[in-house]
Amino acid sequence: MKTVRTRFAPSPTGYMHIGNLRTAIFEYLIAKKNNGQFILRIEDTDQSRKVEGAIDFIYKTLELCNFKIDEGPQNEGKYGPYIQSKRKDIYLKYALELVNSGKAYYCFCTEDDLNKMRKEAEEKKQAFLYDGRCSKLTQKEIEEKLKRGEKYVIRQKMPKDGFTIVNDLVHGEVKIDNKVLDDQILIKSDGYPTYNFANVVDDHLMNITHVIRGHEYLDQTAKYNLLYESFGWEIPTYIHVAMVLGSDGTKLSKRNGDASFMDLYNEGYLPEAIVNYLVLLGWSPKTNQEIFSMDELIKEFDPKRINKSSSQYDVKKLNWINSHYIKQMNDEKYYEFVIPFLEKKYDISKRDINFIRNLVKLYKNSISKGIDIIDEVELFFKDEIDLNSEEKEFMNQDGIDNTISIFKKYIENINDWSVENINTAIKNTKNEANVSGKMLYMPIRIKVSGQMHGPELDETIYLLGKDKILERLNS
């Protein structure tokens, strides 16, 4: 039985955005589900978009997500190089093979020629397709142009009638009309291959069995199939996935949530939570389970359950999943997770370590990402608190001043500052002021913290300290 081999082939253009990462997750799960191999290949044929250090970002992202790369630029197998710019001669060899067999041809059309064709198509209100004029050049004309050093590209010769069938694991059999297929460029004028051509050559030479692409490229896959057929190569299994939409239903962008993985990671989203969330964007498990470990995902993942329709990026759902993973951390790991966020915002160097540990622990069930801890603990690092209009309105009710006055009396009388004695002060206030529930706890919380809601009131008061509490009760 043929070994399942999938590949993740990003371009080194910066941080990896979540759409690309979701593709990597699907490819990784397919490989590991079938005891196969997951390959990393860097597609840098568009040298103008290459960003220095981007390959390191890619490796860092996959490493943080706990993906085992079986072959790649940093651990090459027998199918290398795994960076396309280092495979340039390979692509030219195969392109010339197609030229010699009549399946491709030299095209010497200039940019002015192409712009003229585009303008004519626009005037006729037609989609622009290259008209194939250079495919009609004689061998003598081609040799003369090459001898003169005229710039050229190599184009694939497409059939102009009939249909090409694309079989897809998610969408089934898809029939593509050949007349909509452009004579695509295989080798650009700079000698580098196009994305489409390099993919086909590399996927074949690297024995890739499953290819995941965006659904929007399904029609273009017919060109892939025609290339495979031209070479007499086996066509891989295709899986076309629908795009991820932003919260407003439009294509995901930076403006509506298309954060990169590193953006999310730097805000305190855990890699395992990001992976868990992204796999549910476009894939449905057999049960209602929503929290998955990597081992569980590998066991449960079935590519046939990938949805045909687009998925909507929902940061609230991501926050919910991330908060679940935070709650599952042991106290030491949680402390190590949130402390860098605190250190960036506040000077905690002179604070007692036990105070800081108890402080962040107080908010463990309140935060949905690491950076949230900064706002949550702000009341412990500022001298004055400001009330909003809702809080002021609540505090202006009859009886509130009396409740605060009684509570202050019991706080002043505490000699041994402890959570237990603070609780006793609250209970005594309840009995003497004859209040309970919201009318007991909320006035105290607003007065000492400037917030209507928060974690355990007694622990909050304890960590603020007696002096700070009395200062705020007297203000």
C-alpha angle with apex 14: 317 to 214, nearest 5 degrees?
Answer: 60
Whole-angstrom distance, CA of residue 200 vs CA of residue 225: 9
Which residues pair with residue 38 across a beta bridge? 6
Which tokens in the block code for residue 360? 């962040």
Contacts of 170 (CB under 8 A, 6+ apart): 239, 240, 241, 303, 304, 306, 308
* 314 vs 79: CA distance, rounded Å: 39
Structure tokens at 5: 């081999």
Helix or strand (DSSP H, E) at 185: strand 185-187
| Helix (H), strand (E) at residue 105 | strand 104-107
Residue 72 phi, psi (nearest 5): 180, -175
Task: Give catalytic status of residue 316 as yes or no.
Answer: no
**How would you class 404 by CB atoms within 10 Å of its CB: exposed for 0-12, middle for 13-18, buried for 19 or more?**
buried
Q: Which residue has the tokens 């059999």?
A: 173
User: DSSP code of 86?
Assistant: G
Alpha-carbon gap, residue 222 to 226, rounded angstroms: 6
Of 254, 327, 392, 438, the active-site residue reads 254
Stated as kind and residue range, the H or E segment containing 28 is: helix 18-33
CA 21-26-28 angle, 5° bins: 90
The rounded distance, in Å, linking the Cα atoms of 213 and 243 is 10
Q: How many CB atoms lie within 10 A of CB 184?
A: 19
**Distance from the first to the final alpha carbon of the chain:** 77
Yes or no: say if 457 and 445 are a contact pair by the CB < 8 Å rule: yes
Read off the amino acid at residue 232: G
Q: Which residues are identified as catalytic? A: 254
